[in-house]
Structure 1
Amino acid sequence: MAEREGIDEVASRLRALQEERDYLIVGLTGSVAVGKSTLAKAIAETLAPEPGAEIVGTDGFLLPNAILEKRELMMRKGFPETYDREALAAAIRSIRLGQARIPAYDHETYDVNPAKARTLSRPDLLILEGLGFEPPGGPMGERDRPDILIYLDAERRDIETWFLARFMRFWNAAEHDPTSFYAQFRNMTVPQAEAFAMSVWRKINLPNLEEHILPMREHADIVLKKNAKHEVSVVEDRTR
């Protein structure tokens, strides 16, 4: 199937890279709502059973909402300064040594969830998917970063469509979940909720994409492109 070709190709390349060493740590980044989590799962499933892969979302390394509110950063959530990059780097170093404590994020409550943290033993292949990666030239050392970086790209209009669909999915689910972050928006009509979602996209996620996320594409070892049909293809492979 067409949607599998790019996934199979990148999984095959990751398998070959992992076989050249004891383990491989892969960073997977791209815009909010571009489909990083879904792609990570598809790659992991393709790699199973050997070498197999563990997935860690970098959202767990976001600063808790209480800290973001104190620093007046809630409206910049997802921007570099809202991540604990030192904690992410420390986790990568610990994984290299054999084991790390990994924090978790709850998308329904829109906050880090300490109860869901887990201890992870180093897998043959680890996929770190999300944002918060430091570009080259920063203070972090080589062992503080993934071994290779994958960038998932897509057309802007498609990302906006997927962002709106994701927001509305959480919004609909919040109808029967008062603990959801999205419950506070349930007083809106559907058109109002959609308009609010697009305002969030334009004011927060689009500037973050343009200023901080998209530049990571130039530093990626592998660049993938997803089209409106969710078909993934390899655009560039700089690992060869």
Structure 2
Amino acid sequence: MNNQDNFTPYITFDRNDWASLRSSAPMTITEKDIEELKGLNDVLNMDEVAKIYMPLSRLLYLHAKASRELYESRNTFLRTKVKKVPYIIGIAGSVAVGKSTMARMLKTLISRWPNKPNVDLLTTDGFLLPNKVLEEKGLMNKKGFPESYDISNLLHVLSQLKSGNERVTAPVYSHITYDVIPGKEQEIESPDVVIVEGINVLQPPKITDAKTLDQISVSDFFDFSIFVDADEKNIFQWYVQRFKILKETAFRHEDSYFRKFAGIGDKEAYDMAKGIWNTINRTNLLENILPTRSRADLILYKGDEHLVESVKMRKI
């Protein structure tokens, strides 16, 4: 074996080794919290919180604390007094892998740190181009691909946050109408921590020529980044399960973009979900999402049961 094969920027932990890093951090989550936070077909329980999320919360607390101390030391060095800026955490990964549940869980845990920080969650769905624009550009079948987002607006919002603006607004997306809601905005006020969740948030800038070499990317604003990983076959099964649940719930809403699919049979739902997966989500996963995995500070790998089996943490 070539010695180079042993070189890796990550330290790997199995589930039990990672769980031991929780140390004496107190449990701040209840069974009721878990029921309110988990997604449609996510598997989330107290054991997962204790073994995976509590150590992760402790790690983030240490990183955020060190970042704040460095920020203050830099101000002392520069003899300046710059406004407080939020600690930004990015969460990436495929559709249906459980990013949203993870983001909500971390938001709750972080808000219960000893210093009680003000935490906001920003999802990149709001930065998708409106359906009308996507249709005009011929991108409706590439919704979720990097080119389907208003990246300049997302970068503007993140720049405002990292500039210390006390109040920042962001567009809001509806999973019922499957579109950005005109005129509706999310207000983010004086946050200490902001969690940015989205499938393509670790995308590097697209370099087309020498003029774009200094272009910035969304992840340039992150202080810490997480990639939620799983085998493709499992993500596909979770996607199908979620589609079947949605056809009996959200799709039945009178304003649902997918209302015509409400109540269809399981076989038809499976075939439809499989078609969408193969033509859109799988392509996006292989071409755009997976290639960004190695850019994350932490990779959480989920096994067959939707539970985290191993963790890779980037070496410092």
TM over 0.5: yes
SS at match of 2:134: helix
**C-alpha separation in 1, matches of 2:58 and 2:239:** 29
1:111 to 153, 172, 179: 179
**C-alpha separation in 1, matches of 2:111 and 2:251:** 37
- The 3 A distance-change label for structure 1 pair 196 and 79 is same
2:135 to 69, 91, 95: 69
Aligned pair 1:91/2:120, yes or no?
no
SS at match of 2:254: coil
Aligned pair 1:15/2:61, yes or no?
yes
- The 3 A distance-change label for structure 1 pair 19 and 234 is farther
- The 3 A distance-change label for structure 1 pair 76 and 44 is same
Q: Which residue of 2 aligns with 1:3?
A: 48
- The 3 A distance-change label for structure 1 pair 60 and 142 is closer
8 Å Cα contact 1:92-1:144 kept in structure 2: no
Matches within 5 A, 1:225-240: 225-233=301-309, 235-238=311-314, 240=316
Deviations 1:143-187 (A, max 9, x none): 853222210001212211111122222211256422101102237
Moved over 4 A (4+): 141-144
Deviations 1:176-222 (A, max 9, x none): 42210110223743311221011100110001000000011011111
Matches within 5 A, 1:21-170: 21-22=67-68, 23-49=86-112, 50-51=116-117, 53-96=119-162, 97-98=164-165, 99-133=167-201, 135-136=203-204, 138=206, 139-140=215-216, 145-170=221-246
The TM-score with structure 2 as length reference comes to 0.70
SS at match of 1:104: strand
Letter in 1 for 2:240: L
- The 3 A distance-change label for structure 1 pair 43 and 112 is same
Deviations 1:91-150 (A, max 9, x none): 101112223211111111111113541221242111100123253455216885322221
Q: Which residue of 1 aligns with 2:31?
A: none
**C-alpha separation in 2, matches of 1:53 and 1:103:** 18
Q: Which of structures 1 and 2 has the bigger CA Rg?
A: 2
- The 3 A distance-change label for structure 1 pair 26 and 174 is closer
Letter in 1 for 2:124: T
The TM-score with structure 1 as length reference comes to 0.91
* Superposed CA RMSD: 2.1
Q: Percent identity?
A: 35
**C-alpha separation in 1, matches of 2:230 and 2:290:** 11
**C-alpha separation in 1, matches of 2:252 and 2:99:** 27
Question: Where do 5+ consecutive residues of structure 1 fail to align?
Answer: none
SS at match of 1:113: strand
